[in-house]
Amino acid sequence: MEARKLAGALGAEILGLDLSRGLDDAIVAAIRRVWLEHLVIFCRDQDLPPERLLALARCFGQPVEYPFLQALPGFPVITPVVKLEHERVNFGGLWHSDTAYLEFPPMGTMLIAREVPDWGGDTLFANMYLAYETLSEGMKRLLDRLVAVNSSAKADVTKTREDRLRDGARADAKHEYTALHPVVRTHPETGRKALYVNGGHTVRFDGMSEEESAPILAYLFDHQTRPEFTCRFQWRPGSLALWDNRCAQHKPINDYHGHRRVMNRVTLAGDRPR
């Protein structure tokens, strides 16, 4: 097993592993160490049909259901992430941390490519440790005591679900999920502080109006996705990514209109941010 850095800020590609086989505890622990160090890891050319994908995900955490969309038939914790040839908007197509509007947002997300366009459809990732650590001391003092209100109904992110909800909405989904989380969270495994607001879900600071919160949030949304905090991954069929939602954000790039892209996603249960 070899880990090769993808960029200066985050990201590593793991070479020399066939993830379709059973992984012993030592290999799982080694992968997890690389994951915690690099925030997002990638493996290529993996043969992982749904049952094997699920078995792999369970090596790293407890898979949980996504609240809005129907799952893959027979696999309630595997969510299809699809953009069809005629669609113009891609699912989750903005900077975000997955389902930050839940009381217990996921620890991590595992995504595997099934069908990809000949070009385009890459995903960007950003390091929220760096986003926090590069702030001024004054801004850190301000943010360390603030709590953010996160909502699933923020307008920009709801637009990225519309195509999928049209045919694949869950009957039991709520109209809106809302959760309050610290603006700066401490990673439970590394002990490092990370900025935990995102443009997809954070609407305001608790105790403040949206209008009062907007200038600071706008600055943070811009700051946390600076190019030097990011890496970019180009997918191929069988490519797999595992990212840490507690300290990383991601954005799938919508630059392949007229082409089809099909992924399968598993999210892993997390704790309440602190």
| pLDDT tens track for 104-144 | 999 999 999 999 999 999 999 999 999 999 999 999 999 99
Domain map of the chain by residue range?
Answer: 2-268
Q: Name the catalytic one among 38, 98, 244, 261.
A: 98
Examine the residue annotation and report whether 265 is marked as an active-site residue of this protein: yes
Residue in 265, 244, 236 with CA at minimum distance from that of residue 45? 236
Residue 169 has pLDDT above 90, yes or no: no
Q: Tell me the residue type at 135.
A: L
Of the two residues 159 and 178, the one the predictor is more confident about is 178
Q: Name the catalytic one among 114, 187, 204, 250.
A: 250
**For 51-110, what is each residue's pLDDT tens digit?**
999 999 999 999 999 998 889 999 999 999 999 999 999 989 999 999 999 999 999 999
34 touches 42 (CB < 8 A): no
Q: What mean pLDDT do residues 208-219 have?
A: 98
Q: Name the catalytic one among 96, 181, 187, 204.
A: 96
- CA distance linking residue 267 with residue 245, whole number of Å: 9
Q: What mean pLDDT do residues 248-254 have?
A: 98
Cβ partners under 8 Å of residue 63, min gap 6: 54, 57, 77, 78, 266, 267, 268, 269
pLDDT at 83: 96
Examine the residue annotation and report whether 96 is marked as an active-site residue of this protein: yes
Residue with the two structure tokens 């305001």: 204
- CA distance linking residue 128 with residue 85, whole number of Å: 33
Residue in 12, 23, 6 with CA at minimum distance from that of residue 57? 23
Examine the residue annotation and report whether 259 is marked as an active-site residue of this protein: no
Q: Name the catalytic one among 38, 114, 246, 265.
A: 265
Q: What mean pLDDT do residues 25-45 have?
A: 98
pLDDT at 56: 97
pLDDT-derived band at 270, boundaries 50, 70, 90: very high
CATH of 2-268, one of 3.40.50.300, 3.60.130.10, 1.20.58.110, 1.10.3720.10: 3.60.130.10
Lowest mean pLDDT among 12-26, 152-166, 245-259: 152-166
Examine the residue annotation and report whether 181 is marked as an active-site residue of this protein: no
Of the two residues 226 and 161, the one the predictor is more confident about is 226
